[in-house]
Structure 1
Amino acid sequence: MKKFARECAGKKAIVDFHINENTITETSRPVDYSFFQYKQLKPVGVEQARATRLGEPPERGKQDKKYLTKGIWLNNNKLTNIKNMDTLVASVIESPEKLSWVDFSFNYITHIDQIILKFCNLSIIYFHGNRIKEITEVGKLHKLKKLRNITFHGNPISDMNDYRHIIISFLPTIVHLDNRPVLKSERYQPLHPDSIKPVHPDSIKYMKTINDGDAVSCLKPGEAKNIESAPEETKETPHEDGDVGDRSPTFEKEVKIDGTATPASGNEEVPHRRKGHCRCYFKGKRLR
């Protein structure tokens, strides 16, 4: 009888342990990696999390010693993209598949990588204060069905005519855009054909292949341990003032877009959505 009681007590302790960790995760503050001057996303140590803004970091799990949280702040860094987002999140959060809030504001991001689609529970994403200038980048987030709150103000796309209307059309699940409620009149008003004219046809085709084709599969519990480490940091060309410069590319030679050759002339802009490799320059300096 005593042995049975001990076994029951042990099982109850395990159940209580998981219930407590789940409760902490649901109510915990975000983990803060802002203002670290990161230029790319890669695995970081849990000890590096900033504590000054929130008083202290979130609590850590007993198994992997990672943070019990559903949010991460990566604002005010020097990121130009969000590649390897999954490796960073998996290195610091106990249950990365539960991630629901990420802050990428005030970086230098120009493109939204599909890796973000792994986090199917995302409901809040901040992209304000970046350098996204193609409205079709927004369409990549269409498959995040739980997305409710998103920001893009302070990006070049926010200067487009009918900007709010286009974003709401691309992301029908959101209820707040740029911290303002989405009105019923905005949601059901037909999109004017002239609003989409500035968007390059090849960009629309590219976005359609993302939404209609095979999407990145959602991250599941336990998969985080199988995520490979991010590649080594690539060398970046600094701007004249020491900051990361404008990423508007010019092209050294022909670039193939959807199988057709497009010659580059001067500073002629070529849509970012392109197949194959190209050498990009800014003011005569090679960016990548």
Structure 2
Amino acid sequence: MTAMQDTETEEPRPHTHKETGNQLQSIRFSNNKISTLEGLLPAIQKVSMACDNITWIDLSFNQLKTIDPVFLSFPNLSGLYLHANQISAVQDVDKLAPLTRLRTLTLHGNPVESAKGYRQCVLARLPQLKHLDFCTITKMDRAVAITLQQRGCGRAKREKAEPAI
């Protein structure tokens, strides 16, 4: 699959959850060649999913270059897996700040991971996180993130991952 429009020919697996009945809570589009999330919301509506019920999205191992604001359509999102894509700008994480229930985020395997102070900058921007890149956030991580946040964590300048030499 290279675009969300490709989902028009796909059918979701049958699934029933004890607490939500037939309401699906997760979206898994990992291991594809998706480079844009244009069409994601219509694809979800096609299978009658309510955005408010979605708590977990896996778009790992795709070709996304930015963090799309479409994620704000999922107010109860608690887990977002974006590892192994092509995201390069730390400031893209700012787009996720309104997601107050977001607790787990993965970005490792993206060029952004090589940005100076990557982990602490992400935590400064998203202090609600409990796990980043499959690692628990420590008290030390939080302390450094708070210090960086007080210093602005590079918000005034564009932060892009520079290739390692």
Q: TM-score, normalised by structure 2?
A: 0.81
Matched-pair contact (CA < 8 Å) for 2:82–2:107: yes
**Alignment-derived partner of residue 75 in structure 1:** 30
Give, as a single letter, the amino acid of the residue that structure 1 aligns with 2:3. Answer: Q
1:48 to 4, 7, 11: 11
The answer to whether structure 1 residue 196 and structure 2 residue 159 are counterparts is no
Matched-pair contact (CA < 8 Å) for 1:117–1:144: yes
User: 1:45 Cα shift?
Assistant: 5.2
**Alignment-derived partner of residue 132 in structure 1:** 87
Matched-pair contact (CA < 8 Å) for 1:45–1:92: no
The answer to whether structure 1 residue 58 and structure 2 residue 15 are counterparts is yes
Aligned runs of 1:200-211 on 2, under 5 Å? 200=158
2:104 to 124, 138, 149: 149
Q: CA 1:148/1:197 → structure 2, altered by over 3 Å: closer, same or farther?
A: closer
1:169-217 deviation line (CA, Å, top 9, x unaligned): 111111000010011221122118596389428x9xxxxxxxxxxxxxx
Which is greater in Rg?
1
Number of matched pairs: 153
User: 1:72 Cα shift?
Assistant: 1.1
User: 1:85 Cα shift?
Assistant: 1.9
> How far apart, CA to CA, are the structure 2 residues paired with 1:93 and 1:179?
30
The unaligned stretches of length 5 or more in structure 2 are 161-165
User: Percent of pairs identical after alignment?
Assistant: 29
Q: CA 1:42/1:97 → structure 2, altered by over 3 Å: closer, same or farther?
A: farther
Aligned runs of 1:150-165 on 2, under 5 Å? 150-165=105-120
Secondary structure, counterpart of 1:102 in structure 2: strand
For the aligned residue pairs, the C-alpha RMSD in angstroms reads 2.7
Matched-pair contact (CA < 8 Å) for 1:125–1:151: yes
1:4-24 deviation line (CA, Å, top 9, x unaligned): xxxxxxxxxxxxxxxxxxxxx
